[in-house]
Structure 1
């Protein structure tokens, strides 16, 4: 889309209104993920706009989008809450002034970005990739990349993207249910900041997912997030409830399978049939 071209917003309005009539929800996600400046460099309206004032930046361009698109989105219903990805506020190409009544969905840098956004007064949906992305650790989908064949990173100064067994998965390693359940995304937040956490979502991006694999990649790992956000991961004494949670999630997996859901196995069947036989620590207090 050409951000400067006025006709863009006519299209945006028509598409948004059509979708809103189909999905009259009180929540609506309007994107702003991974803003790519190079996408706009070949658009004459944009290049002319930059030429008119050499001091303009891509941050100004992002703000132009916010100023023109957000009123369209907000015009549908006073009760509707808009959601945008954190990039519109925290990326290099961020806009200057994004209304704080827009919910931010965070995916980078874990608790740090949650802290920054809530400190700015935004409500936040937590989707931190390093804890909650369900498609991580599956290798890369851009085939025939010669870097996949290198056993170790030849240049320690570059990001460890394709080497050391990651196979091109930008967010490797695989996020286990324990990793998800262990995530304390309110750490170092004030009470006021913590109140800005309105939910959490474990995304499963579909580059390497189809109808054959979707259930096994979702389940039962997603249940760990459900318990984390509903009940927390600690007991009344502040100890992790991992031992008790383990048996619950194992039982839940069996329930899913019995109902035809191809949920992934987490342990040998022996461990399921003999509760806590496979616990590493019999003493729950050992799990901190």
Structure 2
């Protein structure tokens, strides 16, 4: 049996690899380790299975394990559904949409049956997070009654007298796979044209959750209708697809974070990067260092307790979203001085004193303070913080910041002045700090993520020899493709958050008071909205950004994925949803299935109508996403496009 199982998988992989290698520019970057299962059911695979079926199907199936039998049946069903038009996608034509667009979606004869009011889902019972997701989606499927902006009835044959969809059966091959980077999120979903029973197969529970979301988007109306005759095979192009939220500059309640994670899950995003602390406040209450929050937060009502963190982390697991903590240091640590003034340089000083050159400023924005690498107590406190955070967050990635070391802040300290007068350098100070903290984080079985500055800053940076690539990931935010290329060409894995494309706070003006820039009668800085990283990043800008542009195939493999970032100088819970959504939906699709169509052309024009529909659905689900067009545009297809080029 084992040899037979290995034979069909090997044969399938040979076929799939041959086809994949012939497909220019279609490389997966999920970082998954080999699962022994086919990475993508191909057309050639279906032909192979069809030829195999010339022998007795029962005898053929009897040679394999139960799991493999289910996989083969699903593949055969997919072949029958796809035979008229393999891997065709008619979802945008039908008005029924899945966001992000699946990698392979076949619906050759758009039809819909009723969803039975007694619809039931059967799934493995011994995975608490999958069980929670099944319960949640079961309720959503029966109660959502979504009304599309464009009625699908004109392009979908609706048959309310046909047998309704009664059940969904979920099969998971590996229930033990943890939610870590590189976990297999693929799934196969079949909804037979005869109704009755649908099947969802996934390698892991996390992939099954992605499939449940897809099914939920194939249901609409009241009474509920469901697309039938559908075959989906889906898997992300990139394994890291995230949102970074800054909760230091302005505070967000637990419910705001949970709502964001829930919306991320609906968009098949999988990393909530939590920038918890900064110079402005320290809102995380830590058992070993309680004074950091009690003195450094905005107040007792603006703190996250260990119970809050547990709630957020568990909620993330229930929605297949990892929660990655960031404790930024040694820069951006002014809030630490409320509890430990002796370990923070230039704390509570005016950020850019009158008459001082920009190069000699104390911070790049209001909110000063750097940890002092020469004070031994710095490391006592910091190691307590790292230990507590690693205990609270089981996630294997630990983001340690290390961005924007401002020379003027360190130079303001007498002990550092003495160190520099004896021939020391600021880069040597950063070396000392990283050498004193990096090994400890790694000893806790963590991979350390730093902002790119730690290695690429023009003035203060460490030697590459102290950051072994096997334990280090760099997150890029400057100079677009150029810095991505510099990082991967040095052998480091990278997460892309280019401020030119992925910063969601840009374009809202500057937050400085007494700013003469705005005292003009002829318009002010209209090119970038008065924002250092302007202009505003439209959803099209985000959607069309290619994060592996200009990289070799081997370099592209080091790109883990990307994150949009919401820094909170001018954001708080009142604008949170609108700042993030639906622009982040654009990131979600571009990193899940790409931003190009089958011909290799950018598909943002085709995505517009689909994003309008998706935005409407998530608004109905409670996410206050901003509109991307007037409703008139949706009601008058094509009339809001341009057929001419600007510039």
TM-score, normalized by length of structure 1?
A: 0.89
Cα separation, 1, equivalents of 2:558 and 2:587:
18
Match of 1:23 in 2: 393
Q: Deviations over 1:170-219 (max 9, x none)?
A: 11100000000111121110111100100200001111011111101111
Aligned partner of residue 569 in structure 2, secondary structure: helix
TM-fit CA distance, 1:276: 3.5
Q: Deviations over 1:34-60 (max 9, x none)?
A: 1111111132332232233x1x22111
Match of 1:64 in 2: 432
Match of 1:94 in 2: 461
TM-fit CA distance, 1:279: 2.7
Q: Which moved more, 1:193-202 or 1:237-246?
A: 237-246
Contact 1:136 1:171 in 2 (8 A): yes
Contact 2:529 2:535 in 1 (8 A): no
Q: Which moved more, 1:65-74 or 1:114-123?
A: 65-74
Give the structure with the larger strand fraction: 2
Question: How has the CA–CA distance of structure 1 residues 151 and 225 changed in structure 2, closer, same or farther, with 3 Å as cutoff?
Answer: farther
- How many residue pairs get aligned? The number is 271
Cα separation, 2, equivalents of 1:44 and 1:20:
33
Gaps of 5+ in 2: 1-370
Aligned partner of residue 439 in structure 2, secondary structure: helix
In our comparison, the structure showing a higher alpha carbon Rg is: 2
Contact 1:110 1:128 in 2 (8 A): yes
Match of 2:292 in 1: none
Question: How has the CA–CA distance of structure 1 residues 281 and 163 changed in structure 2, closer, same or farther, with 3 Å as cutoff?
Answer: closer
Match of 1:132 in 2: 502
Q: Deviations over 1:39-88 (max 9, x none)?
A: 11132332232233x1x2211111111111111211111xx221100000
1:261 aligned to which of 591, 614, 623:
623
Cα separation, 2, equivalents of 1:243 and 1:46:
55
1:198 and 2:560 matched: yes
Contact 1:215 1:262 in 2 (8 A): yes
Contact 1:28 1:81 in 2 (8 A): yes
TM-fit CA distance, 1:235: 1.7
Aligned partner of residue 198 in structure 1, secondary structure: strand
Q: Which moved more, 1:6-15 or 1:37-46?
A: 37-46
Match of 2:551 in 1: 189
Contact 1:151 1:165 in 2 (8 A): no
Aligned partner of residue 203 in structure 1, secondary structure: strand
Match of 2:484 in 1: 114
Contact 1:227 1:233 in 2 (8 A): yes
Aligned partner of residue 624 in structure 2, secondary structure: coil
Match of 1:180 in 2: 542
Question: How has the CA–CA distance of structure 1 residues 147 and 280 changed in structure 2, closer, same or farther, with 3 Å as cutoff?
Answer: closer
Gaps of 5+ in 1: 154-161
Match of 2:402 in 1: 32
Match of 1:156 in 2: none
Contact 2:528 2:536 in 1 (8 A): no
Contact 2:485 2:551 in 1 (8 A): yes
